[in-house]
Amino acid sequence: MEHLKQLIAQYKTQGIAVIVILCVLCVVVVTCYRCGNGEPAAVGELPTDEPGNLVRYPGRTFNYKIKFNDLQAKQHAVASKIGLPRPPKDRADAASMRSQLVEIKTNKNYIVDDLTHSVPYLIPCAKRELDSIGEEWADILQRNGLPHYRFYVTSVLRTQEDIKYLQRSGNINSITQSCHCYGTTFDLAYMRYDKVTRTRDYMHEDNLKLVLGQVLLNHQRAGKIYVKYEAKQSCFHITVRK
Q: pLDDT at residue 37 above 70?
A: no
Decide if 234 is inside a domain. Answer: yes
Do residues 24 and 80 both lie within one domain? no
For 42, the domain range is: 1-48
Same domain, 112 and 232: yes
CB-facing half-sphere around the CA of 212: CA atoms within 13 A? 33
Give the HSE-up count for residue 234: Cα atoms under 13 Å, Cβ half-sphere: 11
More confident residue, 87 or 22: 87
**Nearest Cα to Cα of residue 98 among 117, 119, 82, 113:** 119
**In terms of domains, do 117 and 43 share one?**
no
| 192 pLDDT higher than 70 | yes
Give me the CATH number covering residue 78: 3.30.1380
Whether residue 9 is predicted with pLDDT greater than 80 in this model: the reply is no
Work out how many domains the chain is built from and give that number: 2
Look at 214 and 21; give whichever has higher pLDDT.
Answer: 214
In this structure, are 208 and 235 located in the same domain? Answer: yes
Q: What is the pLDDT of residue 216?
A: 98
Per-residue pLDDT reduced to its tens digit, 195-235: 999 999 999 999 999 999 999 999 999 999 999 999 999 99
Residues 124 and 227 in one domain: yes
- Inside any domain, residue 136: yes
Greater pLDDT, 128 or 177: 128
Contacts 24+ apart (CB under 8 A), 23-27: none
Q: Is residue 144 domain-shared with residue 213, that is, in the same domain? A: yes
Q: Which of 56, 73, 82 is nearest to 210 (CA)?
A: 56
